[in-house]
C-alpha cells in the first residue's frame, strides 16, 4: 500500500522545501509538483483557482502518476 503526502499552503510557506526533504528521507519516494503537472496542459490552460475543471484535471493527472509509481 502506498502512502501519499499532500502538502498545501500559500506561496512561500515551504511546501517544495518540505516535499524535497521528505523525498530525500523516504526510500522509494517521488516528488510530484502540482505546478509542473498543470504546466503540461498548454492549450486552453486556465488558472486552477479560477476553474474547477482545470483543478480536477490536475488532480486526476497527479493521481495517475501515483498509480504508476512502483
pLDDT in tens, the chain (70 residues): 678 888 888 889 999 999 999 999 998 888 888 888 887 776 666 666 677 777 888 888 888 888 887 7
End-to-end CA distance of the chain: 10
7, 23 Cβ separation under 8 angstroms: no
Rounded Cα distance, 54 and 39, in Å: 11
Strand extents, DSSP E, the chain: none
pTM for the model stands at: 0.66
**In angstroms, how far is CA 22 from the centroid of its own chain?**
14
Amino acid at each position: 500500500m502506498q502512502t501519499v503526502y499532500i502538502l498545501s499552503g500559500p506561496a512561500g510557506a515551504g511546501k517544495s522545501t518540505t516535499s524535497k526533504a521528505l523525498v530525500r528521507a523516504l526510500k522509494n519516494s517521488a516528488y510530484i509538483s502540482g505546478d509542473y503537472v498543470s504546466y503540461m496542459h498548454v492549450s486552453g490552460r486556465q488558472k486552477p483557482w479560477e476553474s474547477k475543471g482545470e483543478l480536477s484535471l490536475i488532480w486526476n493527472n497527479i493521481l495517475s502518476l501515483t498509480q504508476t509509481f512502483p
